[in-house]
Amino acid sequence: MTLSDRLRRLFATVTHATAFTGAGISAESGVPTFRGADGIWNKMRPEELASMDGFLRNPDLVWEWYAHRKRIIADVRPNAGHFALARMEHMIPHFAVVTQNIDNLHRRAGSTHVFELHGNIERNYCMQCGRPYAEEEGRGAPGVPRCPTCGGKIRPDVVWFGEMLPEEEWNASVRAAEDSELFFSIGTSAAVYPAASLPVVAQSHGAYLVEINPEPTPLTERADEFLQGPAGRILPALVEALHEARKAST
């Protein structure tokens, strides 16, 4: 893999960096899109299974679908790309991961400074009082669990179609992008807004924009550097280059 001299020089001095990740990095771990032709849910429209309207119409069906997804994701493991980003956090003083993924793989790999724009499938909360809900509280009970405090319906802590991104996570993500000297866009189509605006925000505030993807995207022509290939191969190589640059500068 060939890196530009500018990126290698930046590796030696960078103090603020952000990694923005999408479905591509998780696909390398085997996380399915749940829309494949062989999926048991492929005849359902996403809006029926991932929207407030769908949940209100048929809460048991939606809860069953998310329980199915949780079982699949529980058996998936972080890959080399996730672990490489966790290592970067220890090498760059101010480093954040902003992710569109809900699978919790970044945290499971060891990243601690993570902003989850679309929520986290491992969490749930009460729609009525907002109380967090651990699934162990209602294990074995059929249908949608009820809040032990107020009796309200429990829902997954994920962003559904038609819902706003969580304000605190979004604002923190924008600040991270604005403060970045180096911004990685990894495994994302760069087509889902407002999240897709973050690389542009970072670049407009002076960040060096590096895209990592197996195939070009609408962001590719704008990126300062395009590294074509899977994140699980490219990110570990970048960590080694970062390590060498840091060592040479001391």
**Residues with active-site annotation:** 118
Q: What is the 3-state secondary structure (H, E, C) of the chain?
A: CCCCHHHHHHHHHCCEEEEEECHHHHHCCCCCCCCCCCCCCCCCCHHHHCEHHHHHHCHHHHHHHHHHHHHHHHCCCCCHHHHHHHHHHHHCCEEEEEECCCCCHHHHHCCCCEEECCEEEEEEEECCCCCECCHHHHCCCCCCCECCCCCCEEEEEECCECCCCCHHHHHHHHHHHHHCCEEEEECCCCCCCCHHHHHHHHHHCCCEEEEEECCCCCCCCCCCEEEECCHHHHHHHHHHHHHHHHHHHC
CA distances (Å), origin 123, targets 25, 65, 167: 21, 15, 17
